[in-house]
Structure 1
Amino acid sequence: MQGHLSAWLVKHGLVHRSLGFDYQGVETLQIKSEDWHSIAVILYVYGYNYLHSQCAYDVAPGRLLASVYHLTRIEYGMDQPEEVCIKVFVRRGNPRIPSIFWVWKSADFQERESYDMLGISYDNHPCLKRILMSEIWIGWPLRKDYIVSNFYEIQDAY
């Protein structure tokens, strides 16, 4: 089922895949990593001026990683702001996605957290370094195939 934004993107020749609607009726689109930055700029110009949230998740052990963006179109006089969910899937071997920090500044810490927890590199991010884990931490803790070496429970330490 194709939504309003998906139809608009098709009309303008922009490559994407419609993933339908979520339980709240928000349209979900899949964008290729290499097309993401240009489509992000187009969506900003189209009126999606607010990055509600960005997160990432591991689809399955040894499979794809996903970076998810929730965008909102806020205009004066609108009764209900328009929302869209964008998903960008990448292979875990070399997960690289263009950073949208230069489009929506609020992506800064959110992309850093996705990098820190899942190892997704956001190209052209101004300060892509760990934000939660120590700089010397090895691995990506939220990947489903992550194994902690030398892990001890707190109660075992005493």
Structure 2
Amino acid sequence: MQGRSSAWLVKHELVHRSLGFDYQRIETLQIKSEDWHSIAVISYVYGYNYLRSQCAYDVEPGGLLVSVYHLTRIQYDVDQSEEVCIKVFVPRRNPIIPSIFWIWKSADFQERESYDMLGIHYQNHPRMKRILMPESWIGWPLRKDYIAPNFYEIQDAH
């Protein structure tokens, strides 16, 4: 079953794959990393003016990484806002996705957290550096194939 956003993307000849609807009837779309920036800009122009959340996850050990965006169209004269979920799948060897910081400023810390925990690099992000782990940390703790070190360095809190 094709949703409203998917139909709109088909009409404008934008490549995507419909993943159906979630339990809240929010349409989920899969797009390629190289198409994400243009689709993000078009989505903003189309009225998706709020990035509700961005997160990422590891599909399986050695498999793909996914960056998930929940976009919302907020209008003043409408009781129920329209939402869409967009998933960008990337290979774990070179996980690069265009940053959408310049479209939705709220992506700043969210993209940095996905970078810090899973190693997804958000191209053209103004401050792409670790946000939770120390800069000296090696590896990406939320990857399913991550091997935790058997020691932890005690650091001064000062």
- The alignment's TM-score, normalised by the length of structure 1, stands at 0.95
Return the alpha-carbon distance in structure 1 between the equivalents of residues 13 and 6 of structure 2: 10
Deviation (angstroms), 1:151: 3.6
What's 1:104 paired with? 104
User: Equivalent pairs: percent with the same residue?
Assistant: 83
TM-score, structure 2 as length reference: 0.95
Which residue does 1:3 correspond to in 2? Answer: 3
Alignment correspondent of 1:66: 66
Provide the rounded CA distance (Å) in 1 between the counterparts of 2:95 and 2:65.
7
1:63-119 deviations in Å (ceiling 9; x for gaps): 000000000000110110000000000000010000000000000000000000000
CA drift of 1:148 comes to: 1.2
In 1, distance between residues paired with 2:7 and 2:70? 18
Unaligned runs of at least 5 residues, structure 2 = 153-158
Deviation at 1:41, TM superposition (A): 0.2
CA distance in 1, matches of 2:8, 2:149: 49
How many residue pairs get aligned? The number is: 153
The residue type equivalent to 1:25 in the other structure is R
Q: What runs of 5+ residues in structure 1 fail to find an aligned partner?
A: 153-158
Give the aligned CA root-mean-square deviation in angstroms: 1.1
Q: Distance in 1 between matches of 2:116 and 2:44?
A: 26
State how far apart, in whole Å, the 2-side matches of 1:71 and 1:39 are: 12
